[in-house]
Amino acid sequence: MLHPQVAASLAVRRRPPAGVLAGDPAAQLAHARQAMLDSNEAECGPAIPLPVVVDVDADGVPCRLYAARTGAPVFVYVHGGGWCYGSVETVDRLCRRIAERSGCAVLSVDYRLAPEHVHPAALEDVETALSWVRREGSGLGVDPSRLAIGGDSAGGQLATVAARRQRDAATPLDYQVLIYPAIDPMTASESYDEVAGNGLDRDAMRLAWQTFVPHQADRFSPDVAPLAVPDLAGMPPTLLITAEYDVLRDEGADYADALLSAEVPVVHVRYQGVNHGFARKLALFDAARAAADQIAVSLRAALTF
H/E stretch holding 304 reads none
- DSSP 8-state symbol, 51: S
Going by their DSSP bridges, the two strands 105-109 and 61-67 should be labelled as antiparallel
List Cβ neighbours of 90 (8 Å cut-off, separation of 6 or more).
36, 37, 40, 44, 79, 81, 280
Q: How far apart (Å, rounded) are the C-alpha atoms in residues 32 and 224? A: 24
Q: How far apart (Å, rounded) are the C-alpha atoms in residues 100 and 94? A: 10
Catalytic residues: 153, 246, 276
Q: How far apart (Å, rounded) are the C-alpha atoms in residues 270 and 237? A: 17
H/E stretch holding 94 reads helix 92-102
Looking at the chain, which runs of residues are DSSP E strands? 52-58, 61-67, 72-78, 105-109, 142-152, 175-179, 238-245, 266-275
Q: How far apart (Å, rounded) are the C-alpha atoms in residues 65 and 198? A: 32
* Helical segments of 147-248, H only: 154-168, 191-194, 202-212
